[in-house]
Chains A and B, each alone.
Chain A
Amino acid sequence: MEKGDTYQEESIEKLDVHYIYIKALMKAGIMTIGDLIKIPKDNVLSILNDVNALGYNAVRRALMGRGLIFDFDKELYEKYGIPEDFILIKIATLPLNQRLINALRDNGIIYLGDLLVTNYSQLANLRRVGKNGIKELLDYIHTIGFTLVGERREFDEIIEDYKNAGVPLVGDVLELSNSAAFSLYRANIFTLDDFLDYGPNVFNLIGIGKTISQEIITAMEKKGIKFGVENPTFEKEISRSEIMSENIKNEEIKKRIERKKELAKEFQDLLLEREELLRKERELDERIAAAIKAYKALGVKDGATR
């Protein structure tokens, strides 16, 4: 973080960002970097998106480049328990594959803070971040002690669980090619039930272009499956409850134990911090009392100002 509060009164013109954004912000009455940091996200988005779709990210990046973050971002990072030291670490400096770093950058994920608040399904839908990329990222995130919100296990493991539970996968039911099936799995659509729940939006998923869309439509016609209507033939055999294997439950327990450990550690750290703060406050009280005594000794009346 930028040292001190010198930026508070600094004109937003000093931000390293195109002048069109500065102009829009100033027009909205935001004159200083201090003002900018404090405004709610909706306001920033509405001001900058009126200029163009890149404005918000450009301004946010310019702030972060100065070691500053929006207050709403700060709240989000606090909510996720991400330490300040982590937030502004550039992804480019992490021990990750260069192609993955580039893909994250192109998706607007520049800093570690951005990555750690990304939830799993967003990550799985990022452009050019394939299955291996997701695995590499998750491995890294786990080594630094974090997990993503809504994190799911590897496709292979999930697919294995469905198979063990005797639940047919949508790719098998519709007899789809691997690329079509994995485009669905990437969006957490594993069973026909998932597929029907998702509905026609499935054709808007990243990775599902014209060819795969056509393949899915043909397969649906062939099997007599339609969106928005009952498909009784398949409905019963793919009940979600069937897939809750012991394996998944054990993972859930492990996650909770880890969370408890994290909380206990944080509690301990906060208690230590409290002790230090109390000590500091007591010392300050004593020094203030001494200073007031000296002030009175000078014979200055109470309430006098410099």
Chain B
Amino acid sequence: MELQDKIFKMIDEELAKIETEVNKLRDENKEMKVNIENKEAILQELEAFNEDNV
């Protein structure tokens, strides 16, 4: 394998690693958003209930 091809391979591997990290972070953020939405719904429900029963 030519030196240049080896360098390309190394850069590509590094890019793939960064890409994996970015995708992981993106997926985790997405999950957090879903959690937050659920919590917002729970809070809304609780507050409405409390208001109705004051």
Contacts and interface: CB of A to CB of B under 8 A. Distances in A.
A89 B10 CA distance: 37
Interface string B3-47: 010001001101100110110011011001101100110110111
B50 A291 contact: yes
Contact of A292 (B33, B35, B46): B46
A161 to B, nearest CB: 16
Interface residues of B, number: 31
Contacts of B54: 298
Interface stretch (A13-21, A44-52, A122-130, A265-273): A265-273
A263 B18 CA distance: 7
A284 interface: yes
Nearest to A297: B50
Given A256-B15, A266-B22, A274 B36 contact: no
A298 B43 contact: no
Contact of B29 (A256, A274, A285): A274
B29 A291 contact: no
A291 B8 contact: no
Nearest to A277: B32
A259 B15 contact: yes
Contact of A281 (B22, B35, B48): B35
Contacts of A263: 15, 18-19, 22
B16 to A, nearest CB: 10
A281 B29 contact: no
Contact of A267 (B14, B18, B46, B48): B18
